[in-house]
Structure 1
């Protein structure tokens, strides 16, 4: 019997319940998913909630449609899309997100300092200039923030890392916008964040991997503190 267990949105609960059934083997590959009406009754949610959950599972590659026959479990029932926990409604645990970024971005900055070329530095400088020139335009500054970090990752010259960071950047874009908006309420506004980015750029430009790593750590720790989070 399907059961709801996660304290998230109703759609996420339905998605989790269906995934649990798949994981337990009660809905194996190629099995037909219960109808929208059946799921609605079993889970005590509206059919529109079930419809949205099924749509998400199809987008993730967990379910496939057969015209006139309904939805079926795909041959790859774990799906093909990775989502950050809670990212669909913007409540992913910020402390864990910052910790993950700390692990990733320190290494990225270090490698970038050793591998960057003039084009990489120009892209970083352009993004840095936008952040410094438009501190009160949160949409523009946050987009430049994303591009600055993408330029660092691009400097690492690793296609797999770039693909993962592009995904991650998309999931965290709203968080960066909130960070720039949040900075307006703090002493100095966005200037501290711009200064931290400038330090990272200077270390990468100088080709000093350790200094770049140290600057990246200082930036992430300071950014977390602006949200009231202490990274250890």
Structure 2
């Protein structure tokens, strides 16, 4: 019978997600081999120090990924073919992981912004301008502008008229929403920082408006590079 790792999990905001992540790591490391049956819910609950409902939800997450399959009357098994879903789970505590994430985001967002500059329509530009103005209003009203920020970048993705950029952008947004929110909320604490971020947004908009693909690419890269640096500052404990 397979056995699960015995490291219990500290209570957090999303136990099922954390348990699913731990089980996924066990599968990827070979501790639980492809095609093998998962330990029982009771065994997993004891191994991770959580309740059986948490285990059920964690297994449900793994099933939705296609990493775990169920066999009637026999239990849950590791899918021999592996997961069918791409996952993105950035760790705020791991600086190397954050650096890798921003390199990945750079590849997607910069290319999308460049394409938006060459493919945008007048209505696309109006939408981007509207959300840029929304950001300006949020700044004046001393709000963090998280929703406006996300709408601004979403409008840029829409302007690519590329279904893959749009759908993958939505996936990225849902997975890094907390990161975006953290960065924006911390930025909002400093008016000087808020103005600098807004200037970066304005530079992106101007390049897209001018249909300057190279300029849009450079502006997006500058914005993401600065965003990464800002997040590193926010997440570095004070001495």
Deviations 1:144-182 (A, max 9, x none): 211211221222221122111110011122211111111
Counterpart check, 1:123 vs 2:127:
yes
Q: Give the equivalent residue in structure 2 for 1:180.
A: 184
Q: Deviations over 1:68-90 (max 9, x none)?
A: 5432444x642232221346xx5
C-alpha displacement at 1:19, in angstroms?
A: 4.4
Deviation at 1:108, TM superposition (A): 1.5
Equivalent residue, structure 2, for 1:165? 169
Inter-partner Cα distance in structure 2 for 1:228 and 1:96: 13
Q: Do residues 100 (structure 1) and 109 (structure 2) align?
A: no
Residue 211 of structure 1 corresponds to 215
1:2–1:18 contact (8 Å) kept in structure 2: no
Structure 2 residue runs without a partner (length 5+): 11-17, 234-239
Q: Partners of 2:99 and 2:6 in 1: how far apart?
A: 24
TM-score, with normalisation over the residues of structure 2? Answer: 0.77
Q: Which residue of 5, 13, 37 maps to 2:22? A: 13
Q: In structure 2, what is the Cα distance between the partners aligned to 1:5 and 1:62?
A: 21
Q: Contact conserved, 2:69 with 2:76, CA < 8 A, in 1?
A: yes
* CA–CA distance in structure 2, aligned partners of residues 21 and 228 of structure 1: 33
Q: Does residue 147 of structure 1 match 2:151?
A: yes
Determine which of 35, 43, 49 is the counterpart of 2:40.
35
* CA distance, structure 2, for counterparts of residue 5 and residue 35 of structure 1: 14
- In structure 1, the partner of 2:76 is 71
Tell me which moved more, 201-210 or 90-99. Answer: 90-99
Residue segments in structure 1 that go unaligned for 5+ positions in a row: none
Match of 1:61 among 53, 62, 66: 66
C-alpha distance 5-142 of structure 1, shift in aligned 2 (>3 A) = farther
SS at match of 1:82: coil
Residue 201 of structure 1 deviates from its aligned partner by: 0.4
Aligned residues: 219
Q: Distance in 1 between matches of 2:8 and 2:162?
A: 38
